[in-house]
Structure 1
Amino acid sequence: MSREEGKTSSSIPPHPRSPVVGPLEDDDLLLEILLRLPPQPSSLPRASAVCRRWRLLISEPGFSHRFRRYHRGNLPIIGFYDRNPPYLSFVPALEGPDRIPFERLSWQYQREQELDFSTFGCRDGLVLVHVKYLEPLKRHVLVWDPITGEQHNPGIPPGFDTGKRFNGAVFRSAGDADHFQVVLVGNGDNQLPVASVYSSETNVWSNLFSTSLPLKYYTDPFPSFIGLSLEPAVLVRNSLHWLLGAGSVGILEFDLERHNLVVIGVPVHVPAGCHFGSNDRFSIIRTEDGGLGFLSLSDFNVQLWKRKTEYDGVASWVMEKIIELDKLLKIPLD
């Protein structure tokens, strides 16, 4: 009986084992691995060259959006744009194999018109282009994606004076790779600082948000708000900041959540006739801890100030450090 049982048991075929699937065989797991590649320009092209399957996964429409969202806030600076009109040339900042040729991302405009181009800044893969015709009142802005070449013309908000100097910024909302917003700041019909927000989702501009400019922020004997410096906006937490210029002194701050426009005084004395934008002696920066900072260059001394908010909600400037450039560079002063 035992022999028969043994014979019977030996004749039973073994149970087939499930094949072992590694992480590179599972598309979902492989996508997660590819998503975590370094955000260098050469990472995805190199991965696409491994095999056809990898290339198909990376080329899916949603992958580039996921890759951008995953690395948001940690993307490398691949270059910058020469802001001098009439052209908008890309200047690469990385070395090979991550170096992108300047002609790949430079502005190409085919229309034969007398136009000048400059940029109000770059953020989240988009460039806010300032387009200037011979007639000042025909100035406007374009939102340009240098990777895809797409252009979007949001127009100009009603009541916004483009005959005077203005500035702006473009950005994407957190986690939204399909839509963007534009903020323009400048003069309104009442000669006061104004701001307006454009949404690509609704395709409309908001109403103008305005603020008064106290007399203490003017350097001209007959004050009127003319405009801002042409330096790009500095994003600090949820607010954009621009230096006032052309006869006024201060920082224009726009809260992106509250849509509140205010003027902040600067921590140093600026003599009359010293206009922001006419030299490099003043600039807004974002400090190491993500706060608002202000740099002032006087002779060979650089002062670094930081904006701090006390427990009672009152904000003030605090001196962080002084850098003596003549000692740092060992420049003889005699």
Structure 2
Amino acid sequence: MSTQFGNLLEILLIAETGVKVRTELEMEEMEKGADNIPESESFTTWVIGTDSSVDFFEEQRLEKNQDAFYCCLEIQTPVLKSGPGSLIEIHRMLAALQKHFNVLVNRTCGLHVHVGRGKEGIGHLPLQQLMSTIWVFETQISELLHKSRSSFHNHCSPLYMNSNLGLRGFRGNILDIMLGTNSVNDVINIFGGYQKSARISYNISNLIQPFANPVKRTIEFRQHQGCLDPETVLNWAGFLVELVAWAHKIDHQDFKIFLTKYINQKEGFSVEDLFKEIGLRESVFEFWRDKVAKLRAAEKEEENKK
């Protein structure tokens, strides 16, 4: 089973024209029946819904057009396979949104990426290896994002702040604890959210067994800021897909050797060490170096304006 992904983009729609995109309500009306999964929940098409976690109070306060209507939305992609075809589809949709609508994102918006392997979910050993890697590299991965995301704790809190492992603490060797689980649910018990697990940056609650959802059996990466740039969306999603695929492929003994190298270090390594380990192309390194440089410059400019 190949690794698949889907995106959920939170945006604000200011002005409406006429692009033909089905709404959540229309999707569910199309697929009613005892044996049917609503199309909005089968992830076979693009779906638009509302999102109460997004707000644009400041934008509305500054709005000069008194007739402007602000609508907080989320856009859900269908299930996609990583590759050029997905890039074309996401580029087409984001280009259409920006051409036909007045849309924007702010700091309350997020780009959520769901990664999984179809209905089989993610098995115990790959999930153990994936979450242990994220625990060690979480700070380095966060360097790819706007610094505001690290303080947006209500909806994408980091593992060290809101996971059971981070809040309850542990006794003994951390590597032995992380690699001492015996089931998927054991992994979730360690790395899941202490409270409101769905709000943690790395939401694995959809993988609890037995599965509660007939389709959504994924890890949800919630920490990226809202984004309308297709190249950034695909590079971020591509990295996450490759990370999950690597966690399925790496030999367990090789994994322990890899993680032992970094687990007790507080500094002196970067996300590029992880890029290299999972086999990303040099073009990916170059994209993120340029992206991060622009992010840091933008953050500095924002700070100077305060």
Q: Identify the structure with bigger relative contact order (alpha carbons < 8 Å, sequence gap 6+).
A: 2
More helix by share: 2
More strand by share: 1
TM-score in terms of structure 2 length: 0.27
Question: Could you say which structure has the larger radius of gyration?
Answer: 1
